């Protein structure tokens, strides 16, 4: 049976170019988009516009022009089947940066006031000394984003970034400030700036992800071990300002978060159930184009959070219910 499953997923990859429809989310496996190509949206973030989800991430596919850095965009109505909308960023090093620069963890926010899509990303040199965010904007979710500027949010170092949009629509950037911990800061009205610090969580963590669930804020972060997986942890707080509890494991320590690293938490509010999905990356540093995803519905509530052992599962986007699937 096991051999058979592996064989089937290989067939799917080979079928690149042919339409592929998914009935399940399969953590750790190749995840074909609707054209049959493995999704390239690493370190990503997701926004929902009306009924459509957009997933942005690092495009690390094979055969890209190494002069550029790329951000991909995929769209979906069910969070399971994704259509590649194109590379929305194809960028040369901005202003004085050398060509050995890094663009990671893109996150897009939609500003209803200006009707602009505002992308933040981690901008750095290969030694990760610059520690800034870059900002690019576009008039549509999947158009060509134009670079605007780069800066250190509120003057602080910023490496891994995460995005959080609260239930009232307020947009926040989560960023790792190496000397101190990680910060959660509110964006300005037009989202073009990072305006107000809500909290500094004094824990040396990155891959910061937040969800507001049943009146409590949950944050997940990973330890600073580069591409290598580590035991991700969570903390809770009644408000974004804190106080944040001590960090606890989200999965059995020895599994190193089942080989993944957090990038975002997605809340699906259905007619019957609210499901929170852990969205993680399984990095393959030597073959980044083959990096995988670990998405699983979390067991969450009453201040507790747990990542169940990954296995294929289905999401009913209308009701919010999930079930495990046979393959
Ligand atoms: C990780 C980080 C990734 C990338 C990598 C580079 O810690 O989460 O986004 O920056 O380091 O080594």
299 in a domain, yes or no?
yes
Q: What pLDDT shows up at residue 18?
A: 66
Q: What pLDDT shows up at residue 15?
A: 46
CB of 162 within 6 A of ligand 1: the answer is no
Among 69, 104, 256, say which to mutate for ligand 1: greatest number of ligand atoms within 8 Å of CB.
104
24 in a domain, yes or no?
no
Q: Whose CA is nearest to atom 5 of ligand 1?
A: 226
3 in a domain, yes or no?
no
Cα(19) to centroid of ligand 1, in Å? 33
148 in a domain, yes or no?
yes
Cα(298) to centroid of ligand 1, in Å? 24
pLDDT in tens, the chain (327 residues): 343 333 333 333 434 556 789 999 999 999 999 999 999 999 999 999 999 999 999 999 999 999 999 999 999 999 999 999 999 999 999 999 999 999 999 999 999 999 999 999 999 999 999 999 999 999 999 999 999 999 999 999 999 999 999 999 999 999 999 999 999 999 999 999 999 999 999 999 999 999 999 999 999 999 999 999 999 999 999 999 999 999 999 999 999 999 999 999 999 999 999 999 999 999 999 999 999 999 999 999 999 999 999 999 999 999 999 999 876
Q: Whose CA is nearest to atom 4 of ligand 1?
A: 226
Cα(182) to centroid of ligand 1, in Å? 15
Atom of ligand 1 nearest to the CA of 159: 10
Q: What pLDDT shows up at residue 277?
A: 98
Q: Quote the DSSP letter at residue 255.
A: G
29 in a domain, yes or no?
no
Q: What pLDDT shows up at residue 326?
A: 77
CB 38 within 8 A of CB 10: no
Element (H, E) at 217: strand 216-222
Cα(201) to centroid of ligand 1, in Å? 19
CB of 124 within 6 A of ligand 1: the answer is no
Q: Residue 240 in 3-state DSSP?
A: coil
Q: What is the pTM of this model?
A: 0.94
CB of 176 within 6 A of ligand 1: the answer is no
* CATH code assigned at 66: 2.115.10.20
CB of 43 within 6 A of ligand 1: the answer is yes
CB of 324 within 6 A of ligand 1: the answer is no
Atom of ligand 1 nearest to the CA of 207: 8
37 in a domain, yes or no?
no
Cα(226) to centroid of ligand 1, in Å? 5
Between the two ends of the chain, the Cα-to-Cα distance in Å is: 10
Q: What pLDDT shows up at residue 327?
A: 63
Structural domain total, the chain = 1
CB of 228 within 6 A of ligand 1: the answer is no
Per DSSP, the residues of 123-149 read EEETTS-S-EEEEEEESSTTS--EEEE
22 in a domain, yes or no?
no
How far is residue 143's CA from residue 135's CA, in Å, rounded to a whole number? 15
CB of 207 within 6 A of ligand 1: the answer is yes
Cα(206) to centroid of ligand 1, in Å? 8
191 in a domain, yes or no?
yes
Q: What pLDDT shows up at residue 8?
A: 37
Cβ-count burial 261-282 (b if 16+ within 10 Å, e if not): bbbbbbbbeeeeeebbbbbbbb
Give the residue numbers spanning the domain of 317. 42-324
Q: Whose CA is nearest to atom 6 of ligand 1?
A: 226
CB of 227 within 6 A of ligand 1: the answer is yes
Among 178, 227, 281, 285, say which to mutate for ligand 1: greatest number of ligand atoms within 8 Å of CB.
227
């Amino acid at each position: 049976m096991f051999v058979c499953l592996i064989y089937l997923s290989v067939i799917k990859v080979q079928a690149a170019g042919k339409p592929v429809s998914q009935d399940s989310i399969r953590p750790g496996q190749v995840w074909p988009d609707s054209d049959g190509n493995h999704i390239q949206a690493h370190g990503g973030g997701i926004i929902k516009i009306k009924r459509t989800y957009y997933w942005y991430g690092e495009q690390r596919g094979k055969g890209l022009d190494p002069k550029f850095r790329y951000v991909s965009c995929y769209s979906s109505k069910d969070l399971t089947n994704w259509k590649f909308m194109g590379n929305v960023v194809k960028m040369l090093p901005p202003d004085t940066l050398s060509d050995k620069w890094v663009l990671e963890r893109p996150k897009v926010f939609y500003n209803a006031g200006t009707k602009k899509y505002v992308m933040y990303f981690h901008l750095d040199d290969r030694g990760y000394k610059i520690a800034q965010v870059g900002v690019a904007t576009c008039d549509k979710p999947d158009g060509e984003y134009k670079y605007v500027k780069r800066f250190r949010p509120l003057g602080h170092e910023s490496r891994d970034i995460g995005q959080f949009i609260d239930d009232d629509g307020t947009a926040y950037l989560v960023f790792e400030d190496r000397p101190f911990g990680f910060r959660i800061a509110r964006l300005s009205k037009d989202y073009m700036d990072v305006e107000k610090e809500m909290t500094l969580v004094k824990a040396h963590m990155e891959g910061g992800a937040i969800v507001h669930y049943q009146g409590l804020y949950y944050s997940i972060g990973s330890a600073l071990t580069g591409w290598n997986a580590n035991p991700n942890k969570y903390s809770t707080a009644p408000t974004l300002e804190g106080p944040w509890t001590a960090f606890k494991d989200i999965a059995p320590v020895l599994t190193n978060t089942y080989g993944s690293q957090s990038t975002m938490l997605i809340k699906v509010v259905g007619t019957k159930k609210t499901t929170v999905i852990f969205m993680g990356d399984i990095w393959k540093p030597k073959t980044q184009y083959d990096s995988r995803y670990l998405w699983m519905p979390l067991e969450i509530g009453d201040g507790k959070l747990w990542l169940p052992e990954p296995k294929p599962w289905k999401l009913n986007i209308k009701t919010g219910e999930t079930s495990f699937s046979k393959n």
